[in-house]
Structure 1
Amino acid sequence: MIGAVYPILPGVLAIYGAFFLYGWLISFEPFGVWFWIIQTLVVIVIMVADYAVGALGVKKFGGSKAAIIGSTIGLIIGPFVIPAFGLIIGPFLGAVIGELMIGTTWKKAVSAGLGSVVGFFASSAVKIVLQLAMIIIFLIWVF
């Protein structure tokens, strides 16, 4: 679940991989075709939503493509540069810098930065809910 908020860790893929590990170590018997179809669809939705919800946050607050790219770079680099607060400051600064690089005003750049933070939190919430759903579906299928 840490991967839901820490972008470097592939949380959804770890959960998906755990299903295979369970199958190899215990048994694939409880899993049918529908289990794999549902889980695969959830994985795809999480991966698409992760980027789309973050980008939507930037767009809703008036950010451009440059802000989206900057926010994404900041989300990846931020936790390494500022360990405690990099997940929030990184996307914010990335979006602001991206907007300023294309000549946007400070006010609009800061607004795009706030949108990136809102998008990050919304994206994290969506990932947490869907990853919990994956785990609950697994538990229901197995037990």
Structure 2
Amino acid sequence: MEIAGWILVIVLFLVGMAGTIFPILPGAVAIYAAFFVYGFFLTFEHFGFWFWTMQTLIVAVLFLADYAVSAWGVKRFGGSKASIIGSTIGAIFGPFVIPAFGLLLGPLLGAIIGELIAGSDFEKSLKVGFGSVVGLFSSMVVKIILQVVMIVLFILWIL
């Protein structure tokens, strides 16, 4: 059972990290779930109040940062609410619609279309689309860092 537990923990960590690139994957939730898998298959003995508090706060920050940093990129480049919504939709569906380049083109095209719907000219829409890509990649960097922190804290806690 111990080996199965470790395999599941590692798979959940990998799924969590892949979630930084593919927004449809659960990301931080998968990493958080790995802690429960470890507890059920091995032991919850290592996890106390401070472990759960820190990990829960990181997950909360991840959820807020994911939306806020992406929206910041769009807003910073003059985008409207429509372009934020378009960028978010593009980030979710882009990798599936355009497999090789969807992660980049989805938010870009979504923000451009959203901004055009909001009544902006093409030049401004293109600028906002670029901002959505900047926001997306900034968000990915923040997610990667925080999720690595979650995993490192887990490892330090069980040692």
State if a TM-score over 0.5 links the two structures.
Answer: yes
TM-score range, shorter chain: over 0.9
Q: How many residues align?
A: 143
- CA drift of 1:91 comes to 0.4
Runs of 4+ in 1 over 2 A off after TM superposition: none
- Structure 2 residue 138 is matched with structure 1 residue 129: no
* Residue segments in structure 2 that go unaligned for 5+ positions in a row: 1-16
Structure 1 distance, partners of 2:100, 2:55, is 33
Query: Partner amino acid for 1:14?
Result: A
Q: Which residue of 2 aligns with 1:114?
A: 130
SS in 1 for 2:19: helix
| Residues 12-38 of structure 1, C-alpha deviations (whole Å, 9 max, x = no match) | 000000000000000000111110000
Larger relative contact order, structure 1 or 2 (CA cutoff 8 Å, min sep 6): 1
The match for 2:58 among 22, 37, 42 is 42
- Structure 2 residue 24 is matched with structure 1 residue 8: yes
**Alpha-carbon RMSD:** 0.5
- CA drift of 1:75 comes to 0.8
Please report the TM-score for the alignment, with normalisation by the length of structure 1: 0.99
| Identical-residue share of aligned pairs (%) | 62
The match for 1:82 among 98, 104, 110 is 98
- Structure 2 residue 94 is matched with structure 1 residue 92: no
Please report the TM-score for the alignment, with normalisation by the length of structure 2: 0.89
- CA drift of 1:110 comes to 0.3
- CA drift of 1:80 comes to 1.2
Q: Which residue of 1 aligns with 2:6?
A: none
Q: Is this contact kept in 1: 2:80–2:118, CA < 8 A?
A: no
* Residue segments in structure 1 that go unaligned for 5+ positions in a row: none
